[in-house]
Structure 1
Amino acid sequence: MTNPYTTPIPPTPRPADTRPLHKRVLVWVGGTALFITGALIGSTGGDGQQPVETKVKPATTITATVTATPEPGPTVTETVKAKAKPGPTVTVTKTTTAKAAGSGSGSSSGQDSTGTCSIVSNAGNCYSAGQFCRNSDHGAITTTAGGAKIKCTYRSNAWRWTYI
Structure 2
Amino acid sequence: MTNPYTTPIPPTPGPPATRPLHRRVLVWVGGTALFVTGALIGSAGNDGQQPVETKVKPSTTITATVTATATATPEPGPTVTETVKAKAKPAPTVTVTKTAAAKAADSGSGSGSSGQDSAGTCTIVSNAGNCYAAGQFCRNSDHGAVTTTAGGVKIECAYSSNAWRWTYV
> TM-score, normalization: structure 2?
0.33
The structure with the greater share of residues assigned to helix is 2
**Larger CA Rg, structure 1 vs 2:** 2
